[in-house]
């Protein structure tokens, strides 16, 4: 119940605020001729302003009450003013509410001044400015508040709400004008006609920019999770908004191109009556649809964005994926053929309007071309999907999961897929089609983590792959998925070298936790925004000389904001750990070392040593650089790279490069997708 009251409060105050803002803009534009202010429709419009401000204030009070109840988790607090005050004083949300309430009071003062002062055009400009303040403050809450506060991040939200007000808020004035005409067989008076034409002229560019900012905001809320547009509440609300907007645009076009000109004719009584009836009917429908669209926008602003939506049960048996299908024969040709047909469909719309085709031809040709384009372009992009396809992985992509997955893969999968997932196991030749190459082919990257989880659970029909739901727990199956992604990422990382590629972060390494000999402990993510991490996987005593080199340069490396974590690759007894630790100043990982090793050796391959046959060859010593933003940026393998970090000056140059870079990408995800 409290959610319904909250939605109604947000919606009602927003509608009222938009109407005041848009109406003031309409009056300011129409007021180039002062006689407009004496028009009956202008007087009636202005009389409603104080009531609308009252709705804004009551709505804001309702927002504060319901927010207090929801934020505290105690429904009774919605009726306690002392609880409201506490929220206002102690939360950013409450402080933003206070700003909105203050601006609403400023708006009330401006409206009362306009209401009782002699009507002058600049008064309505003042009213529009005052009405914009609560709208701007409102745009800084909800989803926009989750972003970094800057002009660039906030501007689309502010423009979108103000442009929505300029269009939607002016519709009541439009309606008052056309319903105020008392003689249906007479054209509108000249002042009203000019007012409507001016509004109609500015409405087109306003709607264009409104749609552009809407797409920018939607893109931020969806990012790459386009599947959520048809599988989440946020996505369906966007779809409803787009559908309503399409209908509104058609009505607006017809009103401007046909009904408004006939409504303002001088000599044709029948056209005036028909145009007036159509204009009243369809602009009223446009206003109702606009109110519903504002309601959708209000609900959207408090709905989990599509990019964060959890799709636990994908409802369709297919999905569209360019990554998974683009390499198939004819897919690019068919896709671009469909795009060409879609462009022709858009061109036929323009031709139909320009050449005044009959309605069947004007609608039929673009519709036929659009259907044909979709029928040609989409089927080649379709792949099978399952209920788990977009399921979020409950197990993070960390060293513990990958290490456990490596053991499970070895026990259950190597006989078919091979010891390194190459698809060359001892039973591979008995299958048709052969087992998938999970290593060198981009098979893993082309399918979702949920796809692999489904296959591991139920098997793949007609391929001979069994399901493992009886052999592995749900967590174990996710561990295998993480391990397969580790294999695939590790092979793709063969492009890494001892040299940092400037401004090109791309590989998210396995995260891990550790305990060290010196009682220090932590998490790889602890160093983000603070330090680079040099991860040294060593074998004792073979790596003894290299550890001494690092010891000699340790102070210089620390000055370059870099920490060293030494991870033993072979099992060491307590005496060996004490011996090593006594001679080096950086932490030696004692707990978590085996899991880190099992994860990071997947990133051992190089272009000159692809290492894809047999069990694989594990180097005795590997070193990795993880930048302070969490990305794996460089790697040195002592016995494979001809030159590298044995030259400490070269290593320092790479660290200087990392330190010179600003954040380029958001931190890598903790989960595979």
What CATH number has the domain bearing residue 464?
Answer: 1.10.760.10
Note whether 371 and 463 are same-domain residues.
Answer: no
Note whether 505 and 473 are same-domain residues.
Answer: no
Average pLDDT, the chain: 87
Q: Kindly report the number of other CB atoms within 10 A of residue 118's CB atom.
A: 6
Q: What's the CA gap between 299 and 308, in Å, rounded?
A: 16
In sequence order, the 6+-apart residues with CB closer than 8 A to the CB of 128 are 21, 24, 25, 28
Note whether 82 and 105 are same-domain residues.
Answer: yes
| pLDDT over 70 percentage in the chain | 92
Q: Which of 384, 407, 434 is the last residue of a domain?
A: 384
Q: What are phi and psi of 412, to 5 degrees?
A: -120, -20
Q: What's the CA gap between 162 and 174, in Å, rounded?
A: 18
Which whole number is the average pLDDT over 52-80? 86
CA triple 187-174-162, angle to 5 deg: 150
| pLDDT over 90 percentage in the chain | 48
CA triple 394-399-403, angle to 5 deg: 95
Residues forming beta bridges with residue 513, ordered by sequence position: 523
pTM confidence score? 0.81
SS (H, E, C) 522-586: EEHHHHCCCCEEEEEEECCCCCHHHHHHHHHHHHHHHHCCEEEEEEECCCCCHHHHHHHHCCCCC
Note whether 334 and 425 are same-domain residues.
Answer: no
pLDDT digits (tens, 9 = 90+) for 493-504: 999 999 999 999
Does 138 have pLDDT greater than 90?
Answer: no
Q: Which of 493, 518, 543 is the last residue of a domain?
A: 493
Note whether 566 and 652 are same-domain residues.
Answer: yes
Note whether 326 and 254 are same-domain residues.
Answer: no
Which whole number is the average pLDDT over 271-296? 79
Residue 600 corresponds to which tokens in the numbers above? 């990071």
Q: What's the CA gap between 93 and 303, in Å, rounded?
A: 16
Residue 126 corresponds to which tokens in the numbers above? 């003042």
The SS3 of residue 507 is strand
Q: What are phi and psi of 383, to 5 degrees?
A: -130, 160
646: CATH: 3.40.30.10
pLDDT digits (tens, 9 = 90+) for 585-624: 999 999 999 999 999 999 999 988 998 888 889 999 999 9
The SS3 of residue 458 is helix
Say how many domains are in the chain.
Answer: 4
Length, in residues, of the chain: 673
Q: What's the CA gap between 76 and 74, in Å, rounded?
A: 5
Note whether 177 and 33 are same-domain residues.
Answer: yes
Q: What's the CA gap between 501 and 658, in Å, rounded?
A: 9
Contact 522, 619 (CB under 8 A): no
SS (H, E, C) 510-531: CECEEEECCCCEEEHHHHCCCC
Note whether 279 and 342 are same-domain residues.
Answer: no
Q: Which of 276, 308, 340 is the last residue of a domain?
A: 308
CA triple 513-448-237, angle to 5 deg: 105
More confident residue, 151 or 613: 613
Domain extent at residue 262: 1-308
Note whether 130 and 181 are same-domain residues.
Answer: yes
Note whether 440 and 534 are same-domain residues.
Answer: no
Contact 467, 458 (CB under 8 A): yes
190-204, 284-298, 548-562, 628-642: least confident range: 190-204
| Element at 218 (helix H, strand E) | helix 190-222
DSSP per-residue letters across 372-439: HHHHHHSGGGEEE--TTTTPPPSS-SBHHHHHHHHHHHHHHTHHHH-TTSSS--TTGGGSSSPPP-SS
Cα–Cα distances (Å) from 44 to 23, 41, 50, 122, in that order, read: 12, 5, 12, 19
In sequence order, the 6+-apart residues with CB closer than 8 A to the CB of 372 are 338, 341
Does 269 have pLDDT greater than 60?
Answer: no
Contact 620, 539 (CB under 8 A): yes
Residue 145 — pLDDT band, cuts 50, 70, 90? low
């Amino acid at each position: 119940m409290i959610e319904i009251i909250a939605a109604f409060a947000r919606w009602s105050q927003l509608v009222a605020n938009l109407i005041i803002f848009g109406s003031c803009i309409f009056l300011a534009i129409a007021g180039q001729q002062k006689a407009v202010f004496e028009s009956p429709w202008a007087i009636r419009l202005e009389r409603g302003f104080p009531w609308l401000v009252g709705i804004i204030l009551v709505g804001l009070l309702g927002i504060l009450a319901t927010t207090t109840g929801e934020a505290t988790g105690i429904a009774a607090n919605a009726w306690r003013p002392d609880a409201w005050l506490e929220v206002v004083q102690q939360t950013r949300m409450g402080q933003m509410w206070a700003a909105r309430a203050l601006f609403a009071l400023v708006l009330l003062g401006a409206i009362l001044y306009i209401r009782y002062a002699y009507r002058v055009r600049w008064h309505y400009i003042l009213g529009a400015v005052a009405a914009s303040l609560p709208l701007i403050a409102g745009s800084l809450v909800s989803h926009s508040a989750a972003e970094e506060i800057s002009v660039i991040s906030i501007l689309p939200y502010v423009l979108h709400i103000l442009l929505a007000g300029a269009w939607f808020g002016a519709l009541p004035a439009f309606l008052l004008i056309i319903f105020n005409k008392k003689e249906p067989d007479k054209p509108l008076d000249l002042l009203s006609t000019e007012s409507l034409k001016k509004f109609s002229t500015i409405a087109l560019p306003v709607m264009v920019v409104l749609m552009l900012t809407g797409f920018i905001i939607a893109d931020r809320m969806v990012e790459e999770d386009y599947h959520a547009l048809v599988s989440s509440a946020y996505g369906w609300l966007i779809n409803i908004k787009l559908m309503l907007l399409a209908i509104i645009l058609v009505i607006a076009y017809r009103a401007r191109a046909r009904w408004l000109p006939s409504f303002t004719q001088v000599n044709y009584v029948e056209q005036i009556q028909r145009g007036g009836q159509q204009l009243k009917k369809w602009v009223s429908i446009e206003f109702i649809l606009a109110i519903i669209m504002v309601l959708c926008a209000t609900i959207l602003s408090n709905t989990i964005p599509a990019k964060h939506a959890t799709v636990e049960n994908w409802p369709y048996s297919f999905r569209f994926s360019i990554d998974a299908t683009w390499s198939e024969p004819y897919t690019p040709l068919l896709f671009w053929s469909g795009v060409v047909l879609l462009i022709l469909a858009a061109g036929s719309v323009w031709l139909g309007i320009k050449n005044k085709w009959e309605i069947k031809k004007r609608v039929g040709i673009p519709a036929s071309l659009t259907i044909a384009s979709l029928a040609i372009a989409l089927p080649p992009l379709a792949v099978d999907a399952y209920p788990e396809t977009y399921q979020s992985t409950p197990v993070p992509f960390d060293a513990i999961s990958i290490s456990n997955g490596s053991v499970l893969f070895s026990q259950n999968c190597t006989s078919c897929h091979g010891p390194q997932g190459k698809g060359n196991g001892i039973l591979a030749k008995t299958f048709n089609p052969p087992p998938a190459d999970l290593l060198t082919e981009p098979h893993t990257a082309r399918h979702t983590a949920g796809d692999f989880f489904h296959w591991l659970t139920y098997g793949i029909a007609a391929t001979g792959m069994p399901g493992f739901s009886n052999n592995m727990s749900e967590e174990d199956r996710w561990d295998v998925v993480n391990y397969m992604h580790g294999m695939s990422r590790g092979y793709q990382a063969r492009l890494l070298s001892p040299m940092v590629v400037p401004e090109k972060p791309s590989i998210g390494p396995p995260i891990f936790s550790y305990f060290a000999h010196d009682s220090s402990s932590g998490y790889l993510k602890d160093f983000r925004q603070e330090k680079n991490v040099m991860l040294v996987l060593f074998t004792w005593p073979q790596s003894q000389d290299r550890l001494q080199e690092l010891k000699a340069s340790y102070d210089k490396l620390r000055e370059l904001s870099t920490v060293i974590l030494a991870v033993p690759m072979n099992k060491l007894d307590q005496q060996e750990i004490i011996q090593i630790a006594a001679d080096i100043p950086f932490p030696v990982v004692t707990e978590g070392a085996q899991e880190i090793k099992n994860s990071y050796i997947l990133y051992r391959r190089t272009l000159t040593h692809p290492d894809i046959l047999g069990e694989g060859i594990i180097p005795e010593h590997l070193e990795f650089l993880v930048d302070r933003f969490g990305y794996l940026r460089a790697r040195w393998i002592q016995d494979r790279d001809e030159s590298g970090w044995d030259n400490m000056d070269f290593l320092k140059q790479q660290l200087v490069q990392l330190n010179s870079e600003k954040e380029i990408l958001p931190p890598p995800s903790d989960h595979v997708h």
